């Protein structure tokens, strides 16, 4: 977030990996995404997506709904 603020980024994409190799997002991933979206909103930064990378595939949280 600090870098996005410093470079005056209008939007960001969050990306992280799951070392287990399974990119299925956890409830914690969805919760974290919402927290970051709220923080980013205070700086007029839009969160475009949150991508979870696993072994040979990835999942975009914007494409699915939390359970």
> Which residues have CB under 8 Å from 57's CB, separation 6+?
23
The arrangement of strands across the sheet holding 57-60 comes to 11-17, 46-54, 57-60
Instruction: Quickly tell me which residue has 């600090």 as its tokens.
Output: 2
Pick 46 or 66 by higher pLDDT: 46
Beta-ladder partners of 59:
52
Burial profile 20-33: b = 16 or more Cβ within 10 angstroms, e = fewer: eeebebeeebbebb
- Global pTM value: 0.85
Domain ranges of the chain: 2-63
Residue 63: what pLDDT?
83
Q: What is the average pLDDT across 31-38?
A: 95
Q: Does domain 2-63 have CATH number 3.40.140.10?
A: yes
């Amino acid at each position: 977030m600090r870098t996005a603020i410093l470079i005056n980024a209008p939007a960001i994409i969050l990306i992280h990996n799951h070392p287990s190799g399974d990119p299925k997002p956890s409830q914690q991933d969805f919760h974290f995404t919402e927290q970051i979206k709220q923080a980013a909103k205070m700086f007029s930064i839009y969160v475009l997506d949150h991508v979870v990378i696993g072994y040979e595939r990835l999942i975009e949280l914007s494409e699915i709904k939390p359970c």
